[in-house]
Every structure is written in structure tokens, then in C-alpha cells.
Amino acid sequence: MSGKTVISMKIQVYNSTIQLVQGDITKQSVDAIVNAANSALAGGGGVDGAIHDAAGPLIMEETAQKYPEGCPTGEAVITAAGDLTAKFIIHTVGPVWGGGVRGEADLLKNAYSNSLKLAVEHHCESVAFPAISTGVYGYPIDLAAKQSLRSVADFLREHESSLRVSFVLFDNGSFGAYSNALEELSKMSTDW
């Protein structure tokens, strides 16, 4: 995919916005980019590798220094953003899909809500998420889209935050799944 960014639909949740973007997460103009990290915070492939490549080697040094024990699944930690235009990278660890019987839904919800807590604590006005756990961790994209969008909407409603939350999706399949889920969520959510 080129560096082109396509914005799809968006919804308001009180003073906040949830929007879908098709593009490269490392090119987003936001205060914080969320990294779908592994529990060792050791860099990797996919989104994690792309963010580390774009941010530069100082990120690995900072995570090793500040978080030598890594980050448990569902939790989140924050670092500077290195060479990215963002101020921060929030590293969160999503669950590996095991058929939905090992608490994956709660762990995925926690990954999103703990990332948003850090964004709010660091006075971020905008944050960009990838589709956490849907790559090599095998979380079914349609299910992840529904659960992650709902988790973010619930957080924004409960905390009455004022954030612009972007879900940055790299490929057409993910973008379509999240578009369908956001449309469904917007129809169900008349109390916002």
C-alpha cells in the first residue's frame, strides 16, 4: 500500500471520535501510536516490526531499560516515539487466539482500555490503533473488529474523554471488517 491514507466512516462518542483509516500506522499524525507488541517487547514482524523500523533503535533501548520484565498480555506500557512524528508509542500485548475459551475477549478489551488510559494520562488528544491480535496471533478479524471497537467506545463513554481514536488498517480485508463493525456499532449506540 502506498503512503495514501483513506478515512472511512467515523462516529462520535460524547466528545470523542472513533474513525477508520486505511493506511500506514507509522505515517499517522497523532499524539500516540499503539504498537501490537509481544510480551518481551523485543520487536518482531508485522505492525510491531514496521513501528520499530520507522521509530529507530532508541525504542528498543528504552523498552529494555524501562521494562526489563516485558509487558503481560492485556497490559500496556509507554515510550517516546523516536523518529516518528507521534509523541509516544504505547506498546500493548494482545492475546493469542485459542478458540475464544482462554479469556481472549477480556484480554483484548484490556489491551485497548489500558492503552487508552496511558494516552489520557499523558494528555494525548489523538491515538492510532492497529488491529491488535489479528495477524500472527490469529484472532478472527470480524470478532476482533467488533470487540475492539466496542471496547474503545465503552472506554470513551465511561471516562468522558475527548480523544480522536483512529483504527489504522493496512489491507482491504481488515478495513472492510472494521467498517462493517463500526456501522453496526453506530446503529446500536443511540445513547451517545
For the annotated catalytic residues, the residue numbers are 48
Dihedral pair phi/psi, residue 77, rounded to 5°: -135, 165
DSSP class of residue 1?
A: -
Does residue 189 contact residue 146 with C-beta atoms inside 8 Å?
A: no
> Could you give the maximum distance between any two Cα atoms of the chain, in Å?
45
Q: Rounded distance, CA 82 to CA 177, Å?
A: 31
For residue 5, count other CB atoms closer than 10 A to its CB. 15
Place of cell 470513551: 156
Q: Rounded distance, CA 53 to CA 65, Å?
A: 19
Burial letters for 167-184: b for 16+ Cβ neighbours within 10 Å, e otherwise?
bbbbeeebbbbbbebbee
DSSP class of residue 16?
A: E
Give the 3-state secondary structure of residue 92: strand
